[in-house]
Amino acid sequence: MTNPVLVEVLRGTLVESAHRGSVVVVDADGKTVLALGDVAKPVFPRSAVKAIQALPFVESGAAEAYGFGDRELALACASHSGEPAHAELAAAMLAKAGLGLEALECGAHWPSGQTAMVGLARSGAAPSALHNNCSGKHSAFVCTCRHLGIAHQGYVRPEHRFQQMVRETMEAVTGAAHNETNRGTDGCSIPTFAVPLQNLAQGFARMTTGNGLAPERAKAARRLMSACMAEPFLVAGTARADTDLMHAAQGRIFVKIGAEGVYCAAIPELGLGIALKCDDGAGRAAEVMIAAVLAKLMAADETLAEKLTKAANPILKNWNGIEVASLRPTEAFG
Amino acid sequence: MTNPVLVEVLRGTLVESAHRGSVVVVDADGKTVLALGDVAKPVFPRSAVKAIQALPFVESGAAEAYGFGDRELALACASHSGEPAHAELAAAMLAKAGLGLEALECGAHWPSGQTAMVGLARSGAAPSALHNNCSGKHSAFVCTCRHLGIAHQGYVRPEHRFQQMVRETMEAVTGAAHNETNRGTDGCSIPTFAVPLQNLAQGFARMTTGNGLAPERAKAARRLMSACMAEPFLVAGTARADTDLMHAAQGRIFVKIGAEGVYCAAIPELGLGIALKCDDGAGRAAEVMIAAVLAKLMAADETLAEKLTKAANPILKNWNGIEVASLRPTEAFG
């Protein structure tokens, strides 16, 4: 099936570009509450499932043993902008486990945040693995290995014992098979597995309600998502959608973007899990889609719905600060 | 109509994302040689038509009067990466007309090239309008105003006499009306007008063959496109598609990307003009589309076609240098 156009980009009064995609919302019983487009098609969730991948970090007792709180747990689930606070916290997590940044196998890249990038360049330093947007997740990974007494070297590889734990956790939470036939490699070198979009939504419904999860896992899931909602800056950064949406919702919505236009979210008070994918992989459109579907689901709270609707209709300014374009969700959202 | 999927993004062996779009190739007589998708739909060409917008710069005699050669003409048609050679040449063009960078009304932004951005940041300097990817075009604009004795102030505004000259030139070359109903504002603050994709292709067929253009205009068009093909680095920059494609074709193909997934091109020896638009605005997909259609049109030259086919099938590496994804044109290209 051809997915519907869910987001339009306007320049002047004309539609300049358009984004298709699929969105699914699943409740605590696994029932589909809303579906737009093909929600059975396998999708690589990429970084949108970092909170699920972080479950062994909490379940193993590693997070508690090292004395980590909301800040470290939020960073473990983050795709951060490489701002000083992010890089410093990742380094502090490693230090608690007696490790240095050489333990990280995610690779180095310049901070994605422009101010952070310019600041780092001006300091004369080069970017390290601590600036990699995934450094919090990787720090949590090696801390967990250390706590469990597993040699952390090679922890990014599919056959490593720790990566097998992550895969088993992902299978249990999403209910979808993870094997060599649906495996790819993520930007930070760990495996990523394509699973049906509806399984991702169901996974986040389970994460927030605990339905279908063992009690310890349900507790760890709530702990991680609460940490992200309490420390939204550490999940992304300055002027980033994850941070702004969770800040606006003040602890009532969990959201996480993934590369190539994926978004996962959960609304604890409604017991709902949400997953979406922009067909063409555009993050700008995925951000509009998640804000639009959240505005619809939270319509009963007019103040919050208004903020979410505003986030779903961003204005684009040019280099002279003139408003030249805008994005908007289409009527497909109803 | 729904445009076909023209580009797929693969991760592992699975399609992760897909891009739809439309492509049209027009010959010297205005006949459509190839059409994929809806080619009658109006599209904002953005920077893909800079060579047409630069015609008054040559036709007015400004370029000759200031002693400009291939390098300055190429920069006038450029969306450059803000590397030192680009910024310095724009400054030199302004100086020839007795102007400084304060004459530019395009706004300032950090160089789009990462090495250039880091270098500028390390120098302690801030970006100026000279680093704006459009600074060559804007320098040519104000040089032309100066040569014609028109006050350059406000030259970006639709009602300015110079902008009217640009609009009339665009109308004559593309054969499409440019007015308030199809007008938007570009990133650099000048007007951009949405016209049918087939008119853009026809415009570039005219630019390269001279058919339907006055002799002086035909000469200016050939002069500008020859300059771009002779100095491809100045049209874009390090590791940029425009530069790499024109470098590979060694003077036999003119190409120019525009924002939001637009590409225009011309093949002088075949008398063909090409225009394409990726529906969702992705530059990565537009780059694959242009390379794929050029490979098809230049199939008779196996060596060149092989280079173009390679450009149409880029491999994406992650931060550890591991090949994790790739792009490919679909069977729609035949």
Cross-chain residue pair A11–B285, CB shorter than 8 Å = no
| In the predicted structure, residue A25 carries a pLDDT above the cut 90 | yes
Chain B residues lying within 8 Å of A18, measured CB to CB: 279-280
pLDDT above 90: residue A98? yes
| Cα A36 from Cα A105, distance rounded (Å) | 37
Residues 200-259 of A with CB under 8 A from B: none
- Check pLDDT > 90 for residue A194: yes
User: How far apart are the CA of A180 and the nearest CA of chain B, in angstroms?
Assistant: 10
Please indicate if any CB of chain A lies within 8 Å of the CB of B281.
Answer: yes
Q: For position B281, what pLDDT does the model report?
A: 98
Show the CA angle centred on residue A106, arms to residues A44 and A153, nearest 5°.
Answer: 110
The beta-carbon neighbor of B280 closest among A105, A194, A282 is: A282
**pLDDT for A169:** 98
**Distance between CA B306 and CA B295 in Å, rounded?**
7
Contact with chain B for residue A106, Cβ under 8 A: yes
State whether residue A300 sits within 8 Å of chain B by CB.
Answer: no
Calculate helix-pair angle for A302-311, A283-297, nearest 10 degrees.
Answer: 160
Dist. CA B201–CA B191, nearest whole Å: 20
Q: Tell me: the pLDDT tens digits for B241-285?
A: 999 999 999 999 999 999 999 999 999 999 999 999 999 999 999
Check B184 against A16: CB less than 8 A apart.
yes
HSE at residue A225, side-chain half, CA atoms within 13 A, is 30
Question: What pLDDT does residue B28 have?
Answer: 86
Nearest residue of chain B to residue A44 (CA atoms): B16
Question: What is the structure's pLDDT at A41?
Answer: 96
The tally of CA atoms less than 13 A away on the side-chain side of residue B164 is: 4
Q: Report pLDDT for A1.
A: 83
CB contact under 8 A, A281 and B108: no
| Residue B285 with chain A: CB contacts under 8 Å | 280
CB pairs under 8 A between A and B: 147
Residues of A in contact with B281 (CB under 8 A): 9, 16-17, 282
Separation CA A245–CA A263 (nearest Å): 12
Q: Do B105 and A319 touch (CB under 8 A)?
A: no
Contact B182 A14 (CB under 8 A): yes
CA nearest to A278 within chain B: B17
- Which residues of chain A make contact with B109, given a CB cutoff of 8 A? 319
Task: Tell me the average pLDDT of chain A.
Answer: 97
The predicted pLDDT at position B1 comes to 83
pTM: 0.98
Distance CA(B287)–CA(A280), nearest Å, equals 15
Residues of B within 8 A of A44 (CB-CB) are 11, 14, 16
Nearest CA of chain A to the CA of B271: how many Å? 29
Among A105, A278, A318, the residue with its CB nearest the CB of B189 is A318
Contact present, B26 and B12 (Cβ < 8 Å): no
**CB pair distance less than 8 Å for B184 and A282:** no
Q: What is the 3-state secondary structure (H, E, C) of A22-67?
A: EEEEECCCCCEEEEECCCCCEECCHHHHHHHHCHHHHHCCHHHHCC
Q: Alpha carbon of A255 to those of A49, A275, A314, B327: distances in Å?
A: 10, 10, 18, 29
A17 in contact with chain B, both atoms CB, cutoff 8 A: yes
Q: Is the dihedral of CA A140, A141, A147, A152 positive or negative?
A: negative
Residue A303: is it exposed, middle or buried by C-beta count within 10 angstroms (0-12/13-18/19+)? exposed
Residue pair B193/B182 in contact by the 8 Å Cβ criterion:
yes
- CA trace torsion A141, A143, A146, A147 (10° rounding): -110
Categorise residue B135: left if φ over 0, alpha if ψ from -120 to 50, beta otherwise: alpha
Query: Nearest CA of chain A to the CA of B9: how many Å?
Result: 9
- Looking at residue A195, its pLDDT comes to 97
Q: What is the ipTM of this complex?
A: 0.97
Q: How far apart are CA B254 and CA B208, in angstroms?
A: 9
* Range 115-154 of A in CB contact (< 8 A) with B: 117-118, 121-122, 124, 132
CA distance B5 to chain A (A): 10
Q: What is the pLDDT of residues A259-310, one digit of tens each?
A: 999 999 999 999 999 999 999 999 999 999 999 999 999 999 999 999 999 9
A133 CA: distance to closest CA in chain B (Å)? 11
- Look at B16 and A281 and tell me if their CB atoms are within 8 Å: yes
* pLDDT of B289 higher than 90: yes
Closest CA–CA distance from residue B308 to any residue of chain A (Å): 23
pLDDT higher than threshold 90 for residue A201: yes
For an interface test with A, give the residue of B320, B327, B330 to mutate (most A CBs within 10 A): B320
* pLDDT given at position A28: 86
Distance from CA of B71 to the nearest CA of A (A): 25
Kindly identify which residue of chain A lies nearest to residue B183, measuring between CA atoms. Answer: A12
B154-212 residue pLDDT tens? 999 999 999 999 999 999 999 999 999 999 999 999 999 999 999 999 999 999 999 99
Cα–Cα distance for residue pair A80/A257, rounded to 1 Å: 11
What is d(CA A176, CA B121) in angstroms, rounded to the nearest whole number? 47
Contact residues, chain A, for B185 at CB < 8 Å: 11-12, 318, 322, 324
